[in-house]
Homo-oligomer: A and B are copies of this chain.
Amino acid sequence: MAARRRARRAARARPAAGRGGPGRARAGRAPAANVERRIHASDEETLRQIEATARKVHAEIGRGRRPDLALPVRALSNVSYDDGVGYLEIGRQKKVRTLSVNTVKNFAQTLRMMSLSRQLVQGNDFATKREAYYISKNWDECKFDEQIESDTVMDDIEALFSVSHVNREQLRFYPEEHSGSVSGPLVVRDRDSTGQVATIDCTNFGSGAYSVPSSVEELELETTAAFVLLIETGGMFQRLQSHRFWESANCILVDMGGVPTRAVRRFVRRLADEKELPVYCFVDCDPYGIANIYRTLKVGSGSAAHVNRFFCVPSARFLGVTPQDIVDYELPTHPLKEVDVKRARDALKNDPFFQRQPPWRKALEQLIRMGVRAEQQALAMWGLNYVIEEYLPRKLAEPGKFLP
């Protein structure tokens, strides 16, 4: 089992190294060989994993022994970054929860939550964190008193099964938030919970867009696009969408609306892996756009390292706005606030991703030295559609120059 896991991990690591690594300047199509195309458990696999875990606990009890569950430690101290892996990875530390007088309630709640997950998969339904909390109100002595308790148990279960390549959406626990708009040459096939299949042509939305669902695991994707362009603000997305930039540039546009949701990250990850599309990120030039939005998209977040494997896009590259763009395009700026400077310094000092990336260290130092930030809309100074007519085409002609 451990050997198989290691082998899988090695297979998984290879394409990330090939794409995200500093040695790879070209940002064209990634090599397809050895790519584990879809880190994805089928419903059958998910059920098998849940049942195997339950059976193990049951068998221990049958033998008169106290059962335990070994959960990956979800803490920054158990996180590492390796170019070859390409995302902030959870380490090998485990906390072993053994059934005892003190742990009995939490142990039982964990098993009930697993049982709920099994029911959801079997019934082709899902529950949000909030809903799972309220469902527990019928669990008699197992019920949760506060949602924070049920959230923690859900996170534990997510971490537990993540080592078996089953993610939270596959356990049918869906995030509460619903956001992320998409347009461009992409066809989505989606079977809803009643079994009906919808075919969604993302070139056909006028000024509107396709709003991705909370779980994107089961979507079938077909595209003729050459790349994915992720955009920080709704206003900029609206401009590119209204002017059909996806058509002239042959790309898929994605509105992140700030830090991208799990669903958006997973959606783009699937496009990157399965369709081998390069992914470019277009955000404000400030420490938030760089160290929060882009970093989370590319390598995931430190506090949720157990899910980064599924929910980040290691092949993503930073199109702009870069600190050097502020100089080259003579952009109007705002002074960096103290919190901005602190965020940039933190990234340089504490963030394993930026530490490993000399071009990023240089760019962040340049930004701090300049003492200013620029919004992506600052390009409007040169004309409302300068971004469409000049900036993006110029940038896209040289993806090799994008920051890693």
Query: Which chain A residues have a beta carbon within 8 Å of chain B's beta carbons?
Result: 125-128, 130-131, 133-135, 137-138, 174-179, 181, 188-194, 196-200, 204-215, 219, 233-235, 237-239, 241-244, 255, 257, 332, 375, 377-381, 384-385
Given contacts A178-B257, A244-B194, contact A134 B378 (CB under 8 A): yes
Residue contact B207 to A190, C-beta cutoff 8 Å: yes
A–B complex contacts, Cβ < 8 Å, 7 sampled: A125-B242, A126-B238, A126-B239, A174-B235, A174-B238, A192-B206, A200-B205
Q: How many angstroms between the C-alpha atoms of A134 and B127 in the bound complex?
A: 44
Q: Which residues of B contact A176 (CB under 8 A)?
A: 233-235
Shortest Cβ distance from A204 into B: residue: B198
For the complex, give the distance between the alpha carbons of A178 and B176 in Å.
18
In the bound complex, what is the Cα–Cα distance between A200 and B210 (angstroms)?
Answer: 10
Report the copy number of this chain in the oligomer: 2
Going nearest first, the 4 A-B pairs with the smallest beta carbon separation are A190-B206, A178-B234, A128-B235, A198-B206
Determine how close the nearest CB of chain B comes to the CB of A85; give it in whole angstroms: 31
User: Which B residue sits closest to A376, measured CB to CB?
Assistant: B130
Q: Closest residue of chain B to A183, judged by CB?
A: B211
With beta carbons under 8 angstroms apart, the residue of B198, B204, B243 that contacts A199 is B204
CB distance from A131 to the nearest CB of B (A): 4
With A176-B235, A179-B179, A237-B178 known to touch, is A193 a contact of B208 (CB < 8 Å)? Answer: no
- Complex Cα–Cα for A4 and B244 (A): 41
A243 and B194 contact, CB distance less than 8 A: yes
CB atoms of A206 and B188 under 8 A apart: yes
Given A125-B385, A377-B130, A384-B131, A242 and B179 contact (CB-CB distance below 8 Å): no
Contact of A181 with B135 at beta-carbon distance under 8 Å, contacts A192-B244, A193-B242, A204-B200 already known: no
> A243 touches which one: B135, B175, B193, B242 (CB < 8 A)?
B193
Task: Let me know if B194 and A200 touch, CB within 8 A.
Answer: no
Shortest CB-to-CB span from A322 to chain B, Å, is: 18
Given A125-B385, A178-B235, A381-B134: A208 and B206 within 8 A (CB)? no
Name A203's closest neighbour in chain B (CB-CB): B198
Q: For residue A178, which residues in chain B have a CB less than 8 angstroms away from its CB?
A: 181, 209, 234-235, 237-238, 255, 257
